Amino acid sequence: MTKNVGTADRAVRLILAVLAVVGAYLTGMASVLGVVLLVVAAVLAVTAFVRFCPLYRVVGTSTCPR
């Protein structure tokens, strides 16, 4: 699995993940919107930590410098 998520992209993903968790907390973690936001936060955090985004692979793009 080659890395395709760059440093700036990772930072943005982590910030958005934190904001999604805060949004889920504010709307109620058990609400439909809260659960959706938690799933989005999890996907963003995992792709930031592993530095691989499957959607980038499908589209054929990379933000990681070669």
Q: Which of 66, 42, 62 is nearest to 52 (CA)?
A: 62
Domain assignment present for residue 59? The answer is no
Question: What's the predicted TM-score (pTM) here?
Answer: 0.90
| Domain coverage including residue 36 | 7-51
**Cα–Cα dist 37/21, whole Å:** 7
- Domains: count for the chain: 1
CA-to-CA distance for 57 and 3, rounded, in angstroms? Answer: 10
Please report whether residue 40 resides in a domain: yes
The percent of the chain in helix, strand and coil, each rounded to the nearest 5, is: 70, 0, 30
pLDDT in tens, 48-59: 999 999 999 999
Residues in the chain: 66
The pLDDT value given to residue 66? 75
- Residue 10's nearest CA partner among 45, 48, 44, 47 is 48
Give pLDDT tens digits for 15-63: 999 999 999 999 999 999 999 999 999 999 999 999 999 999 999 999 9
